[in-house]
Structure 1
Amino acid sequence: MQLSTHDIRHRWIVVTGLFFFLAINFADKALMGLAAEPIMRELGLTHTQFGRIAASFFLLFSLSSLLVGLLSDRVKTRWLLLAMAVVWSVSQAPLLLAAVPTTLVMSRILLGASEGPAYPVAIHSLYKWFPDAERTLPTALLTIGAAFGAGFIAPVITAIILYFGWRAAFLALAVVGLVWSAIWLAIGREGPLESAGDRAPGAQVAEAASLEEKIPLRVLLLSRTCLGCNLSGFAAYVVLALSTIWLPSYLVRVAGYSLMQVGWIVVLPAFGQMVMAPLLGWWSQRLMKRGVASRHARGTLGAAAVVLSGSALLLMPVLPPGAGLIAAVTVGFSLASFAFTTGVALAGEVVPASQRGGVLGINICLTTLAGLITPAVMGQIIDVAGDALTGYRLGIALAGGFAVVAGVASACLVDPAGDRRRFACLASTCARIGAIPTTFVRNTHE
């Protein structure tokens, strides 16, 4: 299917709307880390207690990613995105009435439930506007939106916290979310490429999504590509959780920076993401146009980003405050997120369009479990270590080592072309015993 001139123009308006959607989403995530020190001080929380409160954000995050992801195969993404933005804005209101640990936990749980499906649904919406061969770059732009929210808004949030208190920062982001909702109501609509079989002329990637019949969900989830992408995505989310929850405190407690200085330092990883995500996305698409298999153009490239990120985290505990530490922070917390871009693009190659929203939701559900585990584990490590500084350093080092191992394993696993061949073989076998309609076999081999 060829897009009209109007559709080609409007799809970039949609990309802009989704960019700011994810920017607000990640600003909400980053706020908890930036406000960690005043919250712990005012509420009298230990690191373990704060880690558990921060982790409560992810209590329903993964489950809602799964459920809303499955729902996105049946409900227009325009309305799902609008509903999420309204709910996450309203969820922050109770903190203005009673800022106590219980209220904070309930607010974070509701916020996490409404923000959990944001990325997969935004990607599902995006893919209705771009054929497979053109998806890597716009997907990278959405990743930049997340970086913009997590980093470039940080100095503003920090200033609000310092001058007006951390409650005012929550209120400001709630208002911004409602403003976005009003704008999206005017510009948001569904893309014309409902079938992922719509590809740009000359596209080299043959999507499994061109199949008319569904592939068993278990087969999709246990494919090498999904397993590899989920492994690197889980590691990348460990890094993301550390960045949004514990990195500001690390820079204050271990490196001795002031909260205002930290607000500017965390801009650097965001800037790194905003530079590297489109650059790596462009490089990935260029490699594919030159005939490089997506296993390497997407899979190996995304896994390498996770490995480099983990290596930088391993260096952080041994570096003194200064340029070296800031460089390690920038590299460590800017590269791993590219695995999210390559992960959804690779899933788009092997997952039928009619199942894409659900599978993306399940994959996000699995990878974001890292958000539930990491903050609490890090808080526990800090409290049980001989001293807080040792705990901070140990936690960062363990996360870095895990990212290196996971990235290497992911690069070895990802194989979209091989998975499509296995799906075709399975379809042929099942058709012979009458388990799958013959139309599935015919379409698989076309």
Structure 2
Amino acid sequence: MTMATTMRGERNRLLETRWYYIVLVTAAIAVSYFDRQTISVAIAAIQHVIPISEQQFSYLQTAFLLAYAVMYVAGGRLLDRIGTRRGFLLIMLWWSLACALHGFARNFTWLLGMRFLLGMGEGGAFPAATRVVAEWMPREQRSTAMGLINAGTAFGSVLAPPLIGALILNTGWRSVFFVAGAIGMAWTLWWTLSYRNNPATLTMSTQDARLLAEKLSLREIVGVRSVQVLVFAKFMSDSAWFFLLFWLPKYLYDARGFDIKHVSYYAWIPYAASGVGSFLGGYFSAQLLR
């Protein structure tokens, strides 16, 4: 009876730890989407100080996405080599600093460079999040966990328009980037104090998959049929998602005549819907797998 109670208590503690780490990672993903929204929501205020044409605005987003795409691959390799705890810490420190440095911009070139650096940091976020899920969650719960983490993208995007709008109206656009960077730094402290790598809880199949991935070259990984299917799906979904993410606020400013206050009122709505879809998609995937 005592042994059974002890075992039950250990299982409950393990369950709580697993989901605590998922919440921790969800918060990081929310911060990342808040950070990448900063310039889109603040662009109207920035243009009063730094002239930015439509073409130049597109270059800012392209710089972010180029670095982001490269670091999806490179960030995953980095995490495989130095581990989840150190890797995620380094990634968050990098992108938080890059975000804060936007606030010192005096010209378009500075903003372009900082957007590139921000993309480099944020490109490693989802590989790191996926590693946390693989290390801690049993297979039948992973899609639910990833659904919750994906909902974090919407949470950050929902918060961005009203909070950024309030900061601009009260303290100016530069403070947006300083506050966003500070939030990221606070998360790194939370992560450092809370997260521990836990390879002992990995399933044998996950350990085998990690060992195999470390031996395979990038060309061999890309040659795997399931990888190609997932890359294609990601290409089709993200092209639409990032277009909405980066251009919706500017469309509301330029085409619909919204001011900062009205963008903060309405720009969050599509992202709220995506959050519901992200969580439900993960939950129903888990149900189908069962």
Whether TM exceeds 0.5 here: the answer is yes
Residue 91 of structure 1: SS of its match in structure 2? helix
| Counterparts of residues 238-277 of structure 1 (less than 5 Å) | 238-277=239-278
The 5-angstrom pairing of residues 1-400 of structure 1 reads: 4-191=11-198, 192-195=200-203, 197=205, 209=209, 218-289=219-290
CA–CA distance in 2 between the matches of 1:31 and 1:119?
19
Task: Report the CA distance between 1:98 and its aligned residue.
Answer: 4.1
After TM superposition, list the pairs within 5 Å mapping 1:367-446 onto structure 2. Answer: none
Q: Which residue of 2 aligns with 1:389?
A: none
| Cα distance, 1:275–1:35 mapped onto 2, change above 3 Å | same
Worse overlay, 138-147 or 214-223 = 214-223
Give, in whole Å, the separation in 2 of the partners of 1:157 and 1:210: 40
Q: Is the 8 A contact 1:36 1:245 kept in 2?
A: no
Relative to structure 1, the CA distance from residue 279 to residue 98 in structure 2 (aligned partners, 3 Å threshold; closer, same or farther) is closer
- Structure 1 position 21, deviation (Å): 0.5
The question of whether the paired residues in 1 share the 8 Å contact of 2:38 and 2:160 is answered with: no
> CA offset at residue 173 of structure 1?
0.3
Distance 1:95 1:210 in 2: 37
How far apart in 1 are the matches of 2:22 and 2:146?
9
Please state whether the residue corresponding to 1:36 is helix, strand or coil.
helix
Superimposed CA distance per residue, residues 295-318 of structure 1 (whole angstroms, 9 cap, x where no aligned partner): xxxxxxxxxxxxxxxxxxxxxxxx
Pair 67,8 (structure 1): closer, same or farther in 2 beyond 3 Å = same
Measured in 2, the distance between the counterparts of 1:260 and 1:123 equals 36
Structure 1 letter corresponding to 2:146: T
* Structure that is richer in helix per residue: 2
Q: Offset at 1:170?
A: 0.4
How far apart are the structure 1 equivalents of 2:204 and 2:166? 45
- How far off is 1:281 after superposition? 1.7
Mapped to 1, the partners of 2:172 and 2:59 lie a distance apart of: 22
Compute the displacement of 1:25 (Å). Answer: 0.6
What SS does the aligned partner of 1:59 have? helix
* Matched residue SS, 1:58: helix
Q: Which stretch of the first structure deviates more once superposed, 20-29 or 236-245?
A: 236-245
1:188-224 deviations in Å (ceiling 9; x for gaps): 11234434616xxxxxxxx983997966754542333
- Asked whether the equivalents of residues 22 and 145 of structure 2 are also in contact (C-alpha less than 8 Å), the reply is yes
Supply the AA of the counterpart residue of 2:72.
S
Change (3 A) 1:96 1:288: closer
Cα distance in 2 for partners of 1:269, 1:26 equals 14
What is the aligned length?
280
SS at match of 1:189: coil
Q: Please give the per-residue CA displacement for 1:402-440, whole angstroms capped at 9, x wherever unaligned.
A: xxxxxxxxxxxxxxxxxxxxxxxxxxxxxxxxxxxxxxx
- Deviation, structure 1 residue 169: 0.3
Alignment partner of 1:135: what SS? helix
Q: CA deviation at 1:270?
A: 2.1
RMSD: 2.5
1:118 Cα deviation from its structure 2 partner: 0.7
SS of the counterpart of 1:92?
Answer: helix
The letter of the residue matching 1:231 is F
Whether the 8 Å contact between 2:101 and 2:178 is mirrored in structure 1 is no
CA drift of 1:85 comes to 1.5
CA distance in 1, matches of 2:262, 2:223: 45
Structure number with greater Rg is: 1
Relative to structure 1, is the Cα distance of residues 94 and 257 closer, same or farther in structure 2, using a 3 angstrom cutoff?
closer
- Partner Cα separation in structure 2 for residue 159 and residue 264 of structure 1: 11
Deviations 1:379-398 (A, max 9, x none): xxxxxxxxxxxxxxxxxxxx
Residue 44 of structure 1: SS of its match in structure 2?
coil
- Residue 238 of structure 1 aligns with an amino acid whose one-letter code is S
Offset at residue 7 of structure 1 (A) = 2.1
Stretch of structure 1 that moved more, 138-147 or 4-13? 4-13
Structure-1 separation of matches of 2:202 and 2:78: 15
Going from structure 1 to structure 2, the CA distance change for 1:99 and 1:217 (only over 3 Å counts) comes to: closer
* Equivalent-residue separation in structure 2 for 1:218 and 1:177 (angstroms): 34
SS class of match (2:205): coil
**Is the 1:127–1:193 contact (alpha carbons within 8 Å) kept by the matching residues of 2?**
no
Partner SS, residue 136 of structure 2: coil
- Indicate conservation of the 8 Å contact 1:65/1:116, yes or no: yes
- 3-state SS, counterpart of residue 190 of structure 1: coil
Distance 1:94 1:277 in 2: 31
